[in-house]
Amino acid sequence: MSEPNEHEHHIVSPMVYLTIVGALLVGTAVTVWASFIDMGPWNPVVALAIAVVKATLVVLFFMHVKYSTKLTKLTVISGIFVFLGLISMTLADYISRAWGRW
Amino acid sequence: MSDSTTTAHGALAESHHEHPPYQRHHFESVEQQFDTTNFAMWLFLLTEVMFFGGLFTAYLILRNWYYPAFVAGSHQLNIGWGTANTAVLITSSFTMAMAVWNAEMKRKGGLVLCLVLTFILGLGFLGIKTIEYHEKWEKHHIPGIRYSVKSFVNPASDPDIAQYGDKPLAPDMAAKTELYFFLYFAMTGMHALHMIIGIAILGYMIYRARNDAYTTGHVTFVENFGLYWHFVDIIWIFLFPLLYLISRHQ
């Protein structure tokens, strides 16, 4: 406010929040509906895909990351990256060494 | 020695500029203060991602190891209650986002209303969770304390899983259902603990908001608590399909 050259605080409008909460509730309905359809091995994939879309909406709009500084964006992306990296490395270890010998 | 002290005092006095009462001295501007605390809050949330990440990884691996036991265990969960709770939590995230908006617009009445609604919805979530936990207690599905494999070695005896037509599990696999319920309680329990902490902070914020604490232009606390609340919502967005939904047809 006093120094306009700096990053300005962005106020997200209630209409955006209303749209997002609508999308999240529809997403919840879709994921429950999808679980009633037998897709064999694809059920978990579809459920997780919908969950990822919902989480992305929450992070971008409710948590304002879309309107945040580059520092915040980088922090969020590196967090997701490290989390996925740790999961893949753990799974790689289990699959290549102990699988089937528990 | 005394000279350098004097110089330091002089330097401090010169660099001291006018700023709103809520801006700390060591920040250049309110914006810088906001960005810094926002960054710190995200770092805290990343440690939370790692914490819940461990639980999710354990669930992923054990579900694949003891697949029949995890499928049979998840058939015990009530999709109706789970869906209702998801809707309650998503709505509470919306009211929390609206609380942040009201604080930014300096609307005290709206802020207090939104915080109170978030508080009530949070309690509603815990209420539904209590009903579900009570059901587990009644059916002897509390690992380590009150556990029976009856539903799994003899599914015909359990009306709740009749709809799934489960085949009886061998006793050694049926014993692994206890592991499913252990993870169920660990994951939903840690999530519920985060909700309880959040609701306590909400209570404090309602009190502070009524005393005009957040409607002076200083929205940092409300904004950062919002981040925490939405994060807890995201955890549930993943817990719900993984625990309740994905084993329906297996």
Q: Which of A7, A36, A44 sits opposite B35 (nearest CB)?
A: A7
Distance (Å, rounded) from C-alpha B182 to C-alpha B108? 44
* Test the B interface: residue of A19, A62, A71, A88 with most B CBs within 10 Å: A62
Mean pLDDT of chain B: 89
Q: How far is CA B47 from CA A43, A72, A76, A90, B50, in A?
A: 30, 15, 12, 18, 5
| B176, B221 contact by CB (below 8 A) | no
Instruction: Check pLDDT > 90 for residue B51.
Output: yes
- Which chain B residues are Cβ-neighbours of A90 within 8 angstroms? 57, 61
Instruction: Check pLDDT > 80 for residue B207.
Output: yes
B132–chain A Cβ distance below 8 A for any pair: no
Please report, for the domain that includes residue B118, its CATH number.
1.20.120.80
Strands B146-147 and B141-142: antiparallel
Query: Which domain range does residue A94 map to?
Result: 69-102
pLDDT value of residue B116? 98
Distance (Å, rounded) from C-alpha B93 to C-alpha B125? 12
Distance (Å, rounded) from C-alpha B66 to C-alpha B183? 13
Residue B19 included in any domain = no
- Which chain A residues are Cβ-neighbours of B49 within 8 angstroms? 79-80, 83
pLDDT value of residue A23? 97
Look at chain B and report how many structural domains it folds into: 1
Contact B29 A28 (CB under 8 A): no
- Residue B119, H or E segment: helix B108-138
**DSSP state string for A3-20:** -TTSPPPPPPPHHHHHHH
Tell me the HSE value of B247 on the side-chain side, using a 13 A CA sphere: 24
Strand partners for B146: B142
Helices (H) and strands (E) in chain A, counts: 3, 0
pLDDT tens digits along B19-36: 777 788 788 888 888 888
Distance (Å, rounded) from C-alpha A58 to C-alpha B97? 10
Q: How far is CA B187 from CA B58, B193, B235, B239, in A?
A: 10, 10, 9, 8
Contact B245 A31 (CB under 8 A): yes
Look at chain A and report how many structural domains it folds into: 2
Residue B235 included in any domain = yes
Closest-CA residue of B relative to A68 is B35
**Residue B194 neighbours by CB under 8 Å, 6+ apart:** B232, B235
Distance of CA A14 to the CA centre of its chain: 21
**Residue B78 neighbours by CB under 8 Å, 6+ apart:** B132, B135
B231–chain A Cβ distance below 8 A for any pair: yes
pLDDT value of residue B18? 72
Residue B2 included in any domain = no
State the ipTM, two decimals: 0.89
Which amino acid is residue B185, in one-letter code?
Answer: F
Q: How near does any CA of chain B get to the CA of A98, in Å?
A: 11
3-state SS assignment for residue B75? coil
Q: How near does any CA of chain B get to the CA of A16, in Å?
A: 10
Contact A24 B43 (CB under 8 A): no
pLDDT value of residue B161? 81
B40–chain A Cβ distance below 8 A for any pair: no
Which amino acid is residue B139, in one-letter code?
Answer: K
pLDDT tens digits along A84-99: 999 999 988 888 876 6
Residue B135 included in any domain = yes
Question: What's the whole-model pTM score?
Answer: 0.89
Residue B94 included in any domain = yes
Average pLDDT over residues A66-72: 92
Average pLDDT over residues B227-249: 95
| Phi/psi at B82 (5° precision) | -60, -45
| B243, B184 contact by CB (below 8 A) | yes
Residues A3 and A25 in one domain: yes
Residues A56 and A79 in one domain: no
- How far from each other are the two terminal CA atoms of chain B, in whole angstroms? 78
Query: Which domain range does residue B81 map to?
Result: 50-245
Query: Model confidence at A101, in pLDDT bands (50, 70, 90)?
Result: low
Instruction: Check pLDDT > 70 for residue B7.
Output: no
Residue B144 included in any domain = yes
B84–chain A Cβ distance below 8 A for any pair: no
Average pLDDT over residues B147-160: 85
| Nearest alpha carbon to residue B177 among B85, B64, B71, B84 | B71
Contact B31 A8 (CB under 8 A): yes
